[in-house]
Amino acid sequence: MSVPSPSRSRSPSLSAPTPPAPGAPGMKGARAMKRTPAKVRALRLAGGAGQYLALACYLIFLGFPLLWLLSTSFKTARELGSLDPAWLPRHPGLDNYRAAFDAQPLLRSALNSLVVACAASLISVTVAVPAAYALARHRSLVGRASSVWILVSQTFPFVLVIIPLFLVLKNLRLIDSIAGLIAVYVVWNLPFSLWMLQGYVKAVPPSLEEAAAIDGAGRVRTLVSVVLPLLAPGLVATLMFSFVTAWNEFFFALVLLKSPENQTMSVILTRFLGAEGVADLGPLAAASVLATIPGLVFFALLQRRLVGGMLAGAVKA
Amino acid sequence: MSVTPSRAGAVPDSRGTPPPRTPAQRRRALGLDRSAWFLLLPALIPVLVLSVGPLLYGAALAFTDAQAVRTSDTRFIGLTNFLDLRFDSLFWDSFGIGLTWSVCVTAGQFALALGLALLLDQNLRLRWLARTLALVPWAMPEVVVGVMWRLVYHSDAGVLNKTLTQLGLLHENHEKIDWLAGLSYALPAAIVVGVWAGMPQTTVVLLAGLQSAPPELREAAQLDGAGVWRRFTAVTWPALKPVAVAITALNFIWNFNSFGLVYVLTRGGPGGQTRLPMLFAYEEAFKYGQFGYAAAMGLVMVAVIAVLLTLFLRAKLKEEAA
């Protein structure tokens, strides 16, 4: 993103006794000393302008589709039908939102998504905490195998998993059932939960546990009353993250849930598209906006933690 | 990674040479003591039942004629599925599309994410906005990302055609481009969406990598008069490289296995131009009910990914050694 600096074309010899070398990319130390303050300032200005230009491009690329989705969701049907779409809705209204609820069992599917995501995230984190502790504190063959598995499980194409899962769940009569989907999400959320929590556990100084042990606390007691409170922020972050993952998931839900009254929001959204993809754009946009809200809220709360948590897992594992 | 005596064991003499280990300690280093097992089991059992088990079962299915609606018993048919697959030109077409897609998306994600991460590492105004916006695609359901871009690409109500017309790049009376339905546009259009959707993770990881590098080094290089480019190649990149290689490899796998985005965008159309291998296998399994055959496709995908990754990582390692 280097911007051609205007200063270079200007006559350079204000104070430089030796002619400066042509602006070769690999310039060495001595050259920097020869730059006059004015030149340096101009260079810096150009660089800064270039950076802001690039930033603006990123903002447009990242933000524009989002704004368009929002704008579409508030447009009237007439406006959506026009051949020259306006940037902003001329008569913004909630008609599309109302129509979305009429067209598909949106409320029901939101409830399904909520139940599935809550249950899956709570169960997977509950199960993951003790395991993460064991993996973080004991280096062992099983621990290493689990770490490898965590990585490997991320790499398999889901077709290879979904067919046998489908058969297993069919035998258990858990196809087209929310319970079956929860079970699947718990297991497929576990690796990431373990990964994040392990990082948080390692951040808890073992000396605290040793102190508790000297004071006579048992293993479980130490875990519950010393480690767990310190893990709380990490726990919340992991919970929210696996909630969002489950809320957003599509493939498993598409295959495992058949009847509309059981489907989650992601799957219901695709029903707006119809068989040949001829969609009623307004309600579709409105429903999409609604489906995004929980994820956005949690990510807004998570912003800082997310980066920290991933790093904690990554650096120490 | 040397095996250290577990912490619950005897107190090690402070920081000196580790004391010779007793057999019990050695056993503990290899396996786990009982309470650790107890902690691990609640996670281990479901993973074995619903993840390790199904994967092995799925691999085994590839060697059978399993079908969704069974007319006769499932039989072991050896390599027949794989032999059939060899001449299934539709599958190999889709495989090629999958490779094009994942190479382009991975490269795009990396290039854009690196640029953004470098920008976010500077002290710029509006950095918070870019940072927040960059995380948004991550928080969105895949399906919504697909829907949103369908609205952007829509031939009449879409913002892309509108912008192009206003900029004079597209003739007003000319026929509008239907981005997702044009034979030559659909795949590139989908790739842009893939890049948009996958950028955040990569940016976050690269940014974390940037910020873990000691700033003193860069400052020192600046004092020594190194220019922007030289500072990047000599200081920033070496620190970033391990992270970059890891995230690129992971991204490649994820992209190759991607499903939801393209399912919503095009359903694999037009004319199979965007039919990624996962979409192909999904249809084979759940539209035509060919479980065994689809599982074989899955195995082939795993094998090819494994080979490509090995080559990629080995090349990177060799580069390191050179």
The pLDDT value given to residue A2: 38
Residue-wise pLDDT tens digits, B235-257: 888 888 888 888 898 899 889 99
Residue whose C-alpha is closest to residue A255's, from A174, A141, A186: A174
The pLDDT score that the predictor gives to residue A8 is 36
More confident residue, A314 or A14: A314
Contacts of A252 (CB under 8 A, 6+ apart): A158, A162, A165, A181, A184, A185, A188
Is A298 within 8 Å of B227 when comparing Cβ atoms?
Answer: no
Q: Answer yes or no: do A54 and B115 touch at CB < 8 A.
A: yes
Q: Determine the pLDDT at residue A307.
A: 55
Taking residues A222-226, report their average pLDDT.
Answer: 82
Mean model confidence pLDDT for chain A: 79
Residue B107: which CATH number? 1.10.3720.10
CA distance B196 to B105: 9
> Which pLDDT score is estimated for A3?
37
* Residue B81 forms part of a structural domain: no
**pLDDT for res A158:** 84
Please say if the pLDDT value at position A305 is more than 50.
Answer: yes
pLDDT in tens, A162-179: 899 998 888 888 889 999
Identify the CA nearest to A155 among candidates B246, B103, B41. Answer: B246
Q: What is the pLDDT of residue A4?
A: 38
**B52: contact with A, CB 8 A cutoff:** yes
Mean of pLDDT over chain B: 82
How many whole angstroms from its chain centre is CA A246? 11
Report CA dihedral (B296, B300, B305, B310) to the nearest 10 degrees.
120
Interface of A with B in 196-255 (CB under 8 A): 206, 210, 219, 223, 244, 247-248, 250-251, 254-255
3-state secondary structure B53-75: HHHHHHHHHCCECCCCCCCCCCC
A63 contact residues in B (CB cutoff 8 A): 133
Would you state the structure tokens that stand for residue A60, as one six-digit string? 């447009």
Q: How many CB pairs under 8 A join A and B?
A: 302
pLDDT of residue B269: 78
Proportion of chain A above pLDDT 90, given as a percent = 22
Q: Which pLDDT tens digit goes with each residue over A24-58?
A: 444 444 444 556 778 778 877 887 788 889 999 99
- Residue B82: inside a domain: no
Nearest Cβ partner of B151 from A29, A33, A281?
Answer: A281
CA angle A155, A157, A161 (to 5 degrees): 110
Write down the pLDDT at residue B113. 94
Q: Which two tokens stand for residue A58?
A: 């990123």
d(CA B316, nearest CA chain A) in Å: 19
Helices (H), chain A: 29-34, 37-73, 77-81, 95-103, 106-137, 141-153, 158-171, 178-203, 206-214, 219-222, 228-248, 251-256, 265-271, 281-316
Give B76's DSSP letter: B
List of residues 6+ apart from A165 with CB closer than 8 A: A184, A252, A256, B50, B54
Q: How many domains does chain B divide into?
A: 1
User: Which of A71, A163, A165, A299 has the most B C-beta neighbours within 10 Å, making it the best mutation to test the interface with B?
Assistant: A163
In angstroms, the CA A47 to CA B183 distance is 41
Query: So what's the ipTM on this one?
Result: 0.81
Give the pLDDT confidence score for residue A17 in this predicted structure: 38
**Is the separation of the CB atoms in A212 and A186 below 8 Å?**
no
Q: Is residue B166 part of a domain?
A: yes
Q: Could you read off the pLDDT of B23-62 as tens digits, one per residue?
A: 555 555 444 566 677 778 888 888 888 888 888 888 898 8
C-alpha atoms less than 13 angstroms from C-alpha of A121 in its C-beta half-sphere: 20
With CA atoms as reference, report the closest residue to B227 among A38, A20, A32.
A32
Residue among B46, B55, B230 whose CB faces A160 most closely:
B55
Residues of chain B with pLDDT under 70: 1-35, 70-72, 172-174, 320-322
The residue among B186 and A272 whose pLDDT is bigger is B186
Q: Is A147 left (phi over 0), alpha (psi -120 to 50) or beta?
A: alpha
- Which fold does the domain A104-316 belong to in CATH? MetI-like fold (1.10.3720)
The closest of B244, B250, B261 to A192, measured between CA atoms, is B250
Residue B102 is which amino acid? S
Question: What are the pLDDT digits (tens) for A172-220?
Answer: 888 899 999 999 999 888 888 888 888 888 888 888 888 888 888 877 7
B273 within some domain: yes
> Within a 10 A sphere around the Cβ of B285, how many other Cβ atoms?
25
Inside any domain, residue B54 = no
d(CA A122, CA A16): 69
CA A292-A294-A295 angle, 5° bins: 70
Of B250, B47, B4, B55, which Cα lies nearest the Cα of A188? B47
The C-alpha atoms of residue A100 and residue A269 are separated, in whole angstroms, by 10
In this predicted model, what pLDDT tens digit does every residue of A59-113 receive, in sequence order?
999 999 999 999 989 988 878 877 778 888 888 888 889 888 888 888 999 999 9
* A60 CB within 8 Å of a chain B CB: no
Domain layout of chain A by residue ranges: 104-316
